[in-house]
Amino acid sequence: MTTKFHRAASLALAASFAANSAFSASVAWGQNAAGAGAKEPSPPPAASPSAPEGAKIRISPGDVVSITVFPVEEYSREVTVQPDGKIELALIGAILVKGLSSRELQDLLQQRYAKYVANPQVTVNVRRFAGRRVAIIGQIRSAGYYEYRDGMRLLELVSQAGGLSEFAQASKITVLREGAPSGAVSVNFKAVLAGRLDRDLALQPGDTVYIPKQRLAVSASWLTTNVLPWATLASLVATLVLVSKQ
């Protein structure tokens, strides 16, 4: 009797232990399942760095600027800023744009065109910045802008521009350069042409080379324009007088 009671008690304890184990396992599984199904909170999106306020790119000589004028598209232009910092536009003529931002130029052009066009809408875009270019003006056969390359010198630039004109004063060439002590560098290019290649100036991006005109050439030009026609006319009159007397 006692043996049967102990066996029954053992079976009851075993059944109770198995039930508790099953319940604990089900609770643990439910917790794991709930944890697997839950989404972890995503981190806040990183703030994108903003452009510095007030940063403006200024227009400079050599830049290529696209200007659209609405509703009069015939006044739209793509122009190159000249070495003196100006551009030439229909109706409003020459405008100094050096040092202006695109927005400032846009506002200025809208004010100017408003005198001729009702409610003009102007858009300004800098299509190409001068960057690595040099300019040559004055007594040169092909004045304008030329692409700068590393190691470029004045002789190479003059050659690319077709050479000096017949009235060029080669001994007094001026190179306008930002950052130079006086804002310019003087070059005796006549010495370079005579073989003194050590005098050949190394150029820098943004340089503007100015080649002046000989003073004698100016005088000769004035005489050709103002004196020679009258001298020719006087000679013709004298010839006619002599012919009439014969």
* Residues 199-216 as b or e (16 or more Cβ within 10 Å = b): bbbebbbbbbbbbbebee
Alpha-carbon distance 133 to 239, whole Å? 57
pTM assigned to the model: 0.46
- Ranking 17-31, 47-61, 63-77, 141-155 by mean pLDDT, the lowest is 17-31
Domain match, 75 and 146 both: no
For position 220, what pLDDT does the model report?
56
Domain residues for the domain of 122 are 64-128
Domain membership flag for residue 83 = yes
Q: For 6-23, what is each residue's pLDDT tens digit?
A: 444 444 444 444 444 444
- Does residue 241 carry a pLDDT above 80? no
Domain end marker among 111, 128, 145: 128
Residue 120, number of CB atoms within 10 A of its CB: 18
Residue 192, number of CB atoms within 10 A of its CB: 20
Domain end marker among 78, 98, 128: 128
The band of 210, judged by pLDDT with boundaries at 50, 70 and 90, is very high
Domain match, 81 and 152 both: no
Domain membership flag for residue 16 = no
The band of 206, judged by pLDDT with boundaries at 50, 70 and 90, is confident
Domain match, 158 and 190 both: yes
- Does residue 155 carry a pLDDT above 80? yes
Please give the single-letter amino acid code of residue 159.
Answer: S
Domain match, 88 and 146 both: no
The half-sphere exposure of 241 on its side-chain side, counting CA atoms within 13 A, is 6
**Which tokens go with 44?**
């806040």
Domain membership flag for residue 211 = yes
Domain membership flag for residue 222 = no
Q: Where are the beta strands (DSSP E) in 81-196?
A: 86-89, 93-96, 121-128, 133-138, 144-147, 173-176, 184-187
Domain match, 157 and 139 both: yes
In the chain, the number of structural domains is 2
The CATH code of the domain that includes 151 is 3.10.560.10
Average pLDDT, the chain: 78
For position 21, what pLDDT does the model report?
46
For position 226, what pLDDT does the model report?
67
Q: For 54-97, what is each residue's pLDDT tens digit?
A: 335 788 888 899 999 999 999 999 999 998 899 999 899 999 99
Q: φ and ψ at 100, to 5 degrees?
A: -85, 155
- Does residue 49 carry a pLDDT above 50? no
For position 244, what pLDDT does the model report?
75
The CATH code of the domain that includes 96 is 3.30.1950.10
